[in-house]
Amino acid sequence: MARWLSFFAEYNFTVEYKPGKQNVLADALSRRPDYELAHLAYLESPLYELIREAYADDDDLAGLVEALSAPDKAVELTARQRSRLHRYSVVEGLLYYQVDGGDEPRIVVPNDEDLRHRVLYEAHDTPLSGHLGREKTYTSVARNFWWPHMYKWVRKYVQTCETCQRVKPAPSASAPLMSLPVPADCWRSVSMDFIFELPADARGHTGILVFVCRLSKMVRLAAVRKSVTAPQAAQLFVDNVFRHHGLPEAFVSDRDP
């Protein structure tokens, strides 16, 4: 309120009261009626139907679905399945699992690799998912679905996501640049580099091959053409460095073409 009072204080105007009956437009906007909802429509994901159909191909889950759908029917279950039967429930053909009474029931995904990857795709790759990281993707999947070792599935899926590997930065910082060791004597370590795009001389040379002693910083230069080859560069090294200072112990170069 104070902000609006400060804003309107810059203007010279007079406030006049106008009853709502006379100010029909403003009254209609400020008193919009809440209409009664006529009907509610929703779309069911085809993923749920794929899960229902996949239960029949999973021997373990097929028995659980049958036992819970028809309690009076004698269904052969293992001792482990019977001990955990109270954690499962069937609603509209979908098998739900909950760890304890306070846990929210989650849909059990059958042992189908393609189907589980489809669930992970929906939670990680779709535009609404946004390629979240491992923990957030797992939280998104675990909110509605469950299967054994699900965290390992999510971790592997996110680590092998091509888009994440190409776009996201590396999880760990790169190692810092290390200083080169100081040479013990002159011309034992030589740095070399090319400089191109210079004005051409009388012989058509537009570049320079630079040799620098890393200890004394003494420089030797050789004019080169832009089309200089590796054998030509080696001969220039022999003529300008080797014949005067001998063979160095190390070369430092940025590997120019």
Q: What CATH number is associated with residue 233?
A: 3.30.420.10
Residue 231 lies in a domain: yes
**pLDDT at site 185:** 93
pLDDT at residue 33 greater than cutoff 70 = no
Residue 27 neighbours by CB under 8 Å, 6+ apart: 20, 21
107 and 147 share one domain:
yes
**197 and 154 in one domain?**
no
Task: Give the range of the structural domain holding residue 208, as residue numbers without chain letter.
Answer: 189-252
What CATH number corresponds to the domain at position 92? 1.10.340.70
Q: Is residue 181 part of a domain?
A: no
Nearest to 155 by CA among 170, 169, 136, 171: 136
Are both 155 and 93 inside the same structural domain?
Answer: yes
Considering the domain architecture, whether residues 95 and 198 belong to the same structural domain is answered as: no
Domain end (from 120, 148, 164): 164
Structure tokens, 215: 């200890």
pLDDT of residue 228: 92
Nearest-angstrom CA–CA distance, 241 and 110:
72
pLDDT in tens, 114-157: 999 999 999 999 888 889 999 999 999 999 999 999 999 999 99
How many domains are contained in the chain?
Answer: 2
Domain identity same for 205 and 242 = yes
CA separation for the pair 88, 69 (Å, rounded):
11
Same domain, 154 and 230: no
Q: Is residue 69 part of a domain?
A: yes
Q: Which of 149, 164, 179 is at the close of a domain?
A: 164
- Tell me: do 157 and 60 sit in the same domain: yes
pLDDT for 32 equals 64
Q: Is residue 26 part of a domain?
A: no
**How far does CA 32 lie from the centroid of its chain?**
44
Q: What are phi and psi of 87, to 5 degrees?
A: -85, -10
67/61 Cα distance (integer angstroms): 10
CA distances from 201 to 85, 206, 208, 223, 228 (A): 89, 7, 11, 9, 15
Residues 51 and 158 grouped into a single domain: yes
Confidence grade of residue 161 (pLDDT, cut at 50, 70, 90) = very high
Q: What is the pTM (predicted TM-score) of this model?
A: 0.50
Evaluate whether residue 38 is within a structural domain. Answer: no
- Top mean-pLDDT range of 28-42, 73-87, 168-182, 197-211: 197-211
Q: Can you tell me the mean pLDDT for 229-255?
A: 92
Q: Which of 108-122, 125-139, 169-183, 206-220 has the lowest mean pLDDT?
A: 169-183
Distance from C-alpha of 212 to C-alpha of 232, rounded to nearest angstrom:
18
CA distances from 138 to 46, 102, 109 (A): 21, 20, 14
Q: Please indicate, yes or no, if residue 238 is contained in any of the structural domains.
A: yes
More confident residue, 215 or 22: 215
Which residue shows structure tokens 């001998």?
Answer: 246
Same domain, 205 and 241: yes
Neighbours of 49 (CB within 10 A): 12
One domain, residues 66 and 149: yes
pLDDT band with cut points at 50, 70 and 90 for residue 70? confident
Query: How is the chain split among helix, strand and coil, in percent rounded to 5?
Result: 40, 15, 50
Residue 13 has pLDDT above 90, yes or no: no
Which of 112, 147, 164 corresponds to the end of one domain?
A: 164
Q: Are residues 158 and 195 in the same domain?
A: no
Q: How confident is the model over 104-117, as pLDDT tens digits?
A: 899 999 999 999 99
228 φ/ψ angles, rounded to the nearest 5 degrees = -60, 140
Q: Is residue 10 part of a domain?
A: no
pLDDT range class, residue 69, cuts 50, 70, 90 = confident
- Asked whether residue 1 is domain-assigned, the answer is no
Contact in structure between 147 and 117 (CB atoms under 8 Å): no
d(CA 64, CA 71): 10
The rounded distance, in Å, linking the Cα atoms of 238 and 246 is 9
Residues 59 and 160 in one domain: yes
Cα–Cα distance list, 205 to 191, 239, 256 (Å): 21, 17, 18
Given a cut of 50, whether residue 88 has pLDDT beyond it is yes
